[in-house]
Structure 1
């Protein structure tokens, strides 16, 4: 019974997708975050990198909060 309760509690957690400015280096961008994202690998557009400023944008609706991109 406690196992079901733990699942319900973790299911309610909200995850926020943010780009860490200390780790994101637009001038040396090789899109490592986009290449390693499991959601992007499944064919969904979770991380976008604009060609002009090369700053990553993460979709909070699609992000699963795995933390691989950080």
Structure 2
């Protein structure tokens, strides 16, 4: 279920530039997950990594730049 939340968040971010901009302000994955949770998208850092197949160290791009989402 949480993995579905990751996908829903990325789809919402693609449709909503304001949401995407807010998420792109996150300096790290933990902050990103916290911001997502505050907006109703509940998932852990590990679940996020499984869906997007990136490690924490690889998160140097913006949400809109993550391929496959």
TM tier relative to shorter chain = under 0.3
Q: TM-score normalised to the size of structure 2?
A: 0.25
Q: Which has the higher helix share?
A: 2
Pair member with larger Rg: 1
Q: Which has the higher strand share?
A: 1
* Structure with the larger RCO, 1 or 2 (CA within 8 Å, 6+ apart): 2
